[in-house]
Amino acid sequence: MNFDYIVYIGRFEPVHAGHVATLKKAAELGTHVIVLIGSAKQPRTIKNPWTESEREAMLSRAIQESGLNTTQFSFAPIVDRPYNDQQWVTEVQSAIYGVIHARSTKTDEGLDRKKSTIAIIGYDKDESSWYLNLFPQWKRIPMENVDGLHSTRIRSMLFSNGSMAELKDNLPQTVYNWLDQWMTQHPEELSQLMKEFKFIQRYKDAWKAAPYPPTFVTVDAVVIQSGHVLLVKRKTEPGKGLWALPGGFVDQNERLDDAVLRELKEETRLKVAAPILKGSIKATHVFDYPTRSLRGRTITKAYLIELTPGELPEIRGASDAEKAQWVPLSEFMNMQEMLFEDHHAIVSYFLGRV
């Protein structure tokens, strides 16, 4: 074994044979393997269908099936920070050093972080492996893709018709069995994921004839008053039932500033005059993470609207919003698993400016 610790970061949605090959290589090269499960605390979507605890269950079963020593592996969840790489790096480092510290105090094998040799392992030939460049202090161990396996294709096979038949050759048997049981025990979640998958497919099919891949422009309103943020519950796909910021697509002949006020009024019936809302805009920012939306390349401009402290204005869900609600910021910060797309990250970005 060449390293004290091998770090493996992934989403594992779901765990497939390529992941198992990497786990085996990591166990071969390291005394201990730290598996960081990314995209934690996300709502169920066709991109992130399973919780971090469910993915850890899949990983544990795959490790056992492979004959590896389960005590050689530790797991920790990692939250996405699409607009703050340094915060994400800090949280990754903290998770890793937390495992090292825990092992150094519980076993004779543990080494403190200053003495430990650490390497990071991963497949580094696609757009999802950008993170490997953020850890120059650790040796990089590259892995080749196994038989062209991609979790995206596996999820597409699963959610296109809800059948496990095509997945058997791509998954460890224990993971296949776990997924089969999960589908039986979670019929409502599966049904919703299949509806979302079909919606996204139809949405993308509508743009197939376009000469270039489309780029969509949207606006979002971050309305803050007296320690509350204004949210709406989505009534339609995608993200049906999730909480979101009031907002939407910009009309063809509309300025962005006008679009955000229009969408805000349409979805919340907020009882505040438009001139007051416009005068309450304290900051704006463009959020353009390339994969922020399942619908395709979608760039949004968000507006921080800070209203004067006082009684919360009357609101009512309308248009494509099932309901509108003022949510205490302390409660909002714990709602990441209930927020649409990157809206939690958008509000978090602005909170330091209020």
Q: Domain of 220: which CATH number? A: 3.90.79.10
What pLDDT does residue 112 have?
57
Residues 178 and 221 in one domain: no
The DSSP string of 168-227 is TTTS-HHHHHHHHHHHHH-HHHHHHHHHHHHHHHHHHHTTTTSSS---EEEEEEEEEETT
Residue 297: Cβ within 10 Å count: 14
Closest CA to 74 of 40, 45, 102: 102
Looking at residue 82, its amino acid is P
In three-state secondary structure terms, 263 is: helix
Residues 117 and 228 in one domain: no
pTM of the complete model: 0.92
Provide the β-strand partners of residue 8. 35, 121
Residues 178 and 239 in one domain: no
Residue 95: Cβ within 10 Å count: 20
Residue 196 included in any domain? no
Residues 154 and 8 in one domain: yes
Per-residue pLDDT of the chain (354 residues; tens, 9 = 90+): 699 999 999 999 999 999 999 999 999 999 999 999 999 999 999 999 999 999 999 999 999 999 999 999 999 999 999 999 999 999 999 999 999 999 886 555 444 556 789 999 988 655 556 777 889 999 999 888 766 678 999 999 999 988 888 888 889 999 999 999 999 999 999 999 999 999 999 999 999 999 999 999 999 999 999 999 999 999 999 999 999 999 999 999 999 999 999 999 999 999 999 999 999 999 999 999 999 999 999 999 999 999 999 999 999 999 889 999 999 999 999 999 999 999 999 999 999 754
Residue 203 included in any domain? no
Provide the β-strand partners of residue 302. 220, 285
For residues 85 and 93, the answer to whether their CB atoms sit within 8 Å is no
Domain boundary among 138, 167, 185: 185
- Rounded Cα distance between 30 and 137, Å, is 17
Domain boundary among 136, 167, 185: 185
Provide the β-strand partners of residue 79. 40
What pLDDT does residue 8 have?
97
Residues 151 and 53 in one domain: yes
Residues 68 and 137 in one domain: yes
The total number of structural domains that make up the chain = 2
The DSSP bridge pattern shows strands 118-122 and 247-249 to be unpaired
Residues 11-46, buried b or exposed e (16+ Cβ, 10 A)?
Answer: bbbbbbbbbbbbbebbbebbbbbbbbbbbbbbbbbb
Residues 310 and 239 in one domain: yes
Residue 255: Cβ within 10 Å count: 10
Cα–Cα–Cα angle for 217, 302, 328, nearest 5°?
Answer: 135
Tokens of 232: 């709406």
E strands in the chain: 3-10, 30-40, 73-79, 118-122, 139-142, 216-225, 228-234, 243-244, 247-249, 281-287, 298-306, 321-328
Residue whose entry in the numeric block shows the structure tokens 């390529």 = 18
Domain boundaries, position 316? 216-351
CATH number of the CATH domain containing 158: 3.40.50.620
